Amino acid sequence: MLLRPDHPEQPLDPRAVWGRSGPWIVEIGFGDGRFTAELAREHPDWNVLAIDVSAGSLARAIGRLVAARISNVRLFHGPAEFALRQLVPAAGLRRVYVNFPDPWPKERHVGNRLLRAEFLAQLATRLEPRGEIWLTTDHDEYWDFALAAARETGLYSIDERDAPPEVLATKYALKWKDAGRAYHHAVFTKTAEAREPWPVFERVPMPHALMEGELAELVDFEKEVLTIDGGSVVLLDVLRPLDGRGFVWLAHVEEHGIVQQVLLEARPTPRGWHVGLANFAAPIATDGVQAAVGWLVAWLEARGLRVRQRWYRSVAWTVKRKDSGPIAAATGPEEDVSSSRST
């Protein structure tokens, strides 16, 4: 039922995932999954992909769907921006439900809203001709914001309707019903093709390097923030495994709507220091991850290690430091270095 971010086939083939073709429906932000379960039960012929960033939501929804023996739902734990871009082929979707999206009411957080014009234009690439987005919200400002965003794209017609009963039976809808709150509902129908494609991220081999030399004990570490094209990499801290073999760095990588927490390592091996991603979780080798490894190699070079071989494409990054203004001079390598693969 659970799709992993490193699913071997990207975008997905619905015949492989559901064992059949059929209308492909997405729900963004499934919350406790009660709407998902109801939708799947009402429409057994639909292939439903339900997406949520919250681990708590995922746990609740899995429990509910398993208990109800529902077999036509697949769940994805992570941001919708990533799932739609990476897992859904162009023109794959019949309909997308967005029930009570997080409103992000503060002015400085408006950029976090899901249904911004940029995302609506990207989502249009994944909708069939005349594919639909069904939006329901109780938040007046979000409502105005989303409608303005849909109009701005020029890709949708907007049909404001009374909310159908099923979208008023979600956990959020029920929570506010007694408070007498008003609901807004609209169907955005795709009427034109997006001008820009939204290509899936190219998957590249895991970046790493082999280094040699003595590494002195690390006694302190200051958080580093790298700026990369379309995002940032934050090196949060460095940790030492209990067996004392090497070091592990905690990194937060954010780029073009993908957010990843990754562990980098410098681990001694008989052939030298392995510098790259630790064997943990399921990171995707994006430009941001390559920049993080490139930064770590440069950081270790500055502490006396020498590169024997590296297997990554160099990605430009710039270090942001408080003490030297917004952008300090340190920059990542500009040219590709040896990318030969060892045996």
Residue 41: which H helix or E strand, with range?
Answer: helix 34-42
Burial 123-146 (b: 16+ CB within 10 A, else e): bbbbbeeebbbbbbbbbeebbebb
257: left (phi over 0), alpha (psi -120 to 50) or beta: left
d(CA 218, CA 96): 50
For 263-325, give the DSSP string. Answer: EEEEEEETTEEEEEE-S-S-----HHHHHHHHHHHHHHHTTT-EEEEEES-----EEE-SBTB
Give 96 or 226: the residue with its C-beta nearer to ligand SAM: 96
Structure tokens at 79: 């941001």
What percent of the residues of the chain are helix, what percent strand, and what percent coil, each to the nearest 5?
A: 25, 30, 40
**Residue labelled with tokens 């890709």:** 155
Residues that bind ligand SAM (CB under 6 A): 28-29, 31, 51-54, 57, 79-81, 99-102, 114, 170-173
Active site residues: 102
Considering beta carbons, is residue 10 or 309 the nearer one to ligand SAM?
10
Residue number of the CB atom closest to ligand SAM:
29
Supply the minimum distance, in Å, between the C-beta of residue 140 and ligand SAM. Answer: 15
Q: Which residues contact 74 (CB under 8 A, 6 or more apart)?
A: 1, 2, 3, 17, 18, 47, 48, 49, 50
Q: How far is the CB of 59 from ligand SAM (least distance, A)?
A: 12
Instruction: With beta carbons less than 8 A apart as the criterion, state whether 171 and 54 touch.
Output: no
CB of 104 to ligand SAM, least distance (A): 9
In the complex, what is the shortest distance from the CB of residue 105 to ligand SAM, in angstroms, rounded to a whole number?
A: 12
* Smallest gap from residue 40 Cβ to ligand SAM (A): 15
Q: Which CB atom, from 185 or from 310, has the smaller least distance to ligand SAM?
A: 185
- Residue ranges with strand state E in 126-175: 127-137, 156-161
- Is the CB of 173 or the CB of 315 nearer to ligand SAM? 173
Beta carbon nearer to ligand SAM, 200 or 238: 200
Secondary element (H or E) of residue 62? helix 55-67
Least distance (Å) between residue 191 CB and ligand SAM: 25
- Residue 219 backbone dihedrals phi, psi, to 5 degrees: -105, -30
Of 171 and 313, the one with the shorter C-beta distance to ligand SAM is 171
